[in-house]
Amino acid sequence: MEQIKRDFTELSMMSKTEWSEHELVYFQHALSQLLPYINPEGLTILHEINKEMYQRKENLNNHPIIPV
């Protein structure tokens, strides 16, 4: 099944909590590669992405999935 891809314009109008894991990873990598060239707004977006990725990881660590 092909994943529907949303562009950055659409994603920028949404909360980072609504982004897929793939979208977070993709744009975190892209913005990190452009770090020397991004403006303060871009840096803020990168920080928000990193924060969301960290929070999701913490939630997984604090609430492990227990097989039934």
* For the chain, domain boundaries: 8-62
The predicted pLDDT at position 4 comes to 63
The predicted pLDDT at position 5 comes to 84
Cβ–Cβ < 8 Å for 28, 53: yes
The predicted pLDDT at position 68 comes to 62
Q: Quick count: other Cβ atoms within 10 Å of Cβ 11?
A: 19
pLDDT digits (tens, 9 = 90+) for 31-60: 999 999 999 999 999 999 999 999 999 988
Sorting pLDDT into bands at 50, 70 and 90, what band is 61? confident
Q: Which of 2, 20, 1 is nearest to 10 (CA)?
A: 20
